[in-house]
Structure 1
């Protein structure tokens, strides 16, 4: 799996505007249109326009999965904000494992996420363990515009605001 970040570089256990492992380059800006997409997703998922209006994502992780890529069960805990995570899938379908908030084991549910699927997890499920167990190669079809693989965009509100150059979640 390969990752590109927008708004903030995600580094294990923290976010930063610049990062040594990406040649010290400043992270690309988080586009306003992507924030609007996130707000619309949260409003639709919660059935509440106010919840959408209050969602202020400022980071996106854009992950590319080839047919062999996987992602182990993990929690998204580096953010200072408890705002929902919005996940958009493009390209090949994957098997997304959505678990519980206590550990990596059962109970969990395997869901196939196809190109164009949008998944929002917030509230009590915000810190659920989750991962990708399989990519179904060649499942996207020509309408996706991708020849192979899967792109996943996860939008997050880091809670770091615009001025900080780096941040860590306390207690992480």
Structure 2
């Protein structure tokens, strides 16, 4: 929105889980979108993720550093075209370290080496899940571009309540670590047509940065 009756402020949604609105300025959003468009091209580009049960995720995905597939990591796009995964750039790791520090306060420099980039069109969603395939407990950094979504952040025990629903808009940062590192979370809804017009993106991109421990 161009004008807010009440400006959005950072909030601790749960212990170790922090929402920082408007963390990326307009120029940084455009730069990150341009990089995502490059990463989405083949080989090892944007793909539809198929689950072991035969279903498909409605959000499409591309990976950097390590290729995630349900429920493991590989160095090649084993459930795609089989090409080597694209490298994880150093500048993206630095962005992740800065994001974690800004959200959670002074922390050691985490060695981010994985990016999972999910693209949501207007009908896409993400069920409640935990990011539990890594062998490190470093905070997860989540950056949003494009359309606004409902982000549901729950608890570490069950996909059901209690959980908190909040809006993530283009440029927002969400970081979760510590006692909330393995909390269930998901995206039940995307609001089509809510992206900043100047960004030039139809849909939503979520860039999630993780430390593999591999």
TM (norm. structure 2) is 0.71
The corresponding residue for 2:80 is 22
The SS at the match of 1:143 is helix
User: 185, 190, 195: which is aligned to 1:130?
Assistant: 185
Residue ranges of structure 1 left out of the alignment (5+ in a row): 161-172
Q: Give the C-alpha shift of residue 145 in structure 1.
A: 2.6
TM (norm. structure 1) is 0.88
Residue ranges of structure 2 left out of the alignment (5+ in a row): 1-58
User: 42, 45, 49: which is aligned to 2:100?
Assistant: 42
Answer with 100-109 or 137-146: which moved more: 137-146
Q: Give the C-alpha shift of residue 158 in structure 1.
A: 0.6
Q: Give the C-alpha shift of residue 47 in structure 1.
A: 1.5
The SS at the match of 2:116 is strand
Alpha-carbon distance in 2 for matches of 1:110, 1:144: 25
Q: Give the C-alpha shift of residue 54 in structure 1.
A: 2.0
Q: Give the C-alpha shift of residue 74 in structure 1.
A: 0.3
The SS at the match of 1:38 is helix
Alpha-carbon distance in 2 for matches of 1:57, 1:63: 17
The corresponding residue for 1:9 is 67
Runs of 4 or more, structure 1, over 3 Å off, are none
The SS at the match of 1:21 is coil
Q: Answer 1 or 2: which has greater strand percent.
A: 1
Q: Deviations over 1:84-125 (max 9, x none)?
A: 100000000000000000000100000100000010000000
User: 57, 73, 78: which is aligned to 2:133?
Assistant: 78
Is the counterpart of residue 155 in structure 1 residue 213 in structure 2? no
RMSD: 0.9
Q: Give the C-alpha shift of residue 7 in structure 1.
A: 0.4
Equivalent pairs counted in the alignment come to 156
Q: Give the C-alpha shift of residue 18 in structure 1.
A: 1.1
Alpha-carbon distance in 1 for matches of 2:150, 2:198: 20
Q: Give the C-alpha shift of residue 38 in structure 1.
A: 0.3
Name which structure has the greater RCO, CA cutoff 8 Å, separation 6+. Answer: 1
The corresponding residue for 1:140 is 195
